[in-house]
Every structure is written in structure tokens, then in C-alpha cells.
């Protein structure tokens, strides 16, 4: 597990980088695999974002 970002700016920068990687992956995925990609995005992104919101007090 990656270390926690120390500041809100670091957290935002990390989320933007993750978002960039996800968009690149989504564009590269064949149409039939897009649902699988969306489910993967839900697991990889939604939970860490919720964790960061809780960590920084929402």
C-alpha cells in the first residue's frame, strides 16, 4: 500500500495522476471489456477517494 499523502495538495496530485492513467486504460480497452474496466475503476478509485475524504475530514 502506498504511503498516505502528507498534504491535501499531494492527495489531489495523486488522484489526478490515477485519473489520467484510468482514462488511458479506458481508451485502450476494447468495447467488450469496457464493463470490466468500469468495475475495476469502481474498485480502484472509489474506495481510495472515500478513504482520502475520511482521512482529510471530508
Domain limits for position 40: 10-55
Q: 23 with 37: CB under 8 angstroms?
A: no
Distance CA 52, CA 35 (A): 25
Q: Is residue 46 part of a domain?
A: yes
Per-residue CA distances from 39 to 22, 34, 42, 43, 44 (Å): 12, 9, 5, 6, 9
pLDDT, the chain, mean: 79
The model's pLDDT over 17-37, given as tens digits with 9 standing for 90+, comes to 988 887 887 777 676 677 887
Kindly report the pTM of this predicted structure: 0.42
The domain tally of the chain equals: 1
1 pLDDT exceeds 60? no
Distance CA 55, CA 31 (A): 36
Residue 48, helix vs strand vs coil = helix
Q: Is residue 5 part of a domain?
A: no
Q: Is residue 36 part of a domain?
A: yes
Query: What is the pLDDT at residue 3?
Result: 67
Amino acid at each position: 500500500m502506498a504511503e498516505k499523502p502528507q498534504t491535501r495538495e499531494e492527495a489531489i496530485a495523486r488522484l489526478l495522476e490515477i485519473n489520467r492513467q484510468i482514462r488511458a486504460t479506458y481508451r485502450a480497452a476494447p468495447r467488450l471489456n469496457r464493463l470490466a474496466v468500469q468495475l475495476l475503476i469502481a474498485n480502484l478509485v472509489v474506495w481510495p477517494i472515500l478513504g482520502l475524504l475520511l482521512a482529510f475530514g471530508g
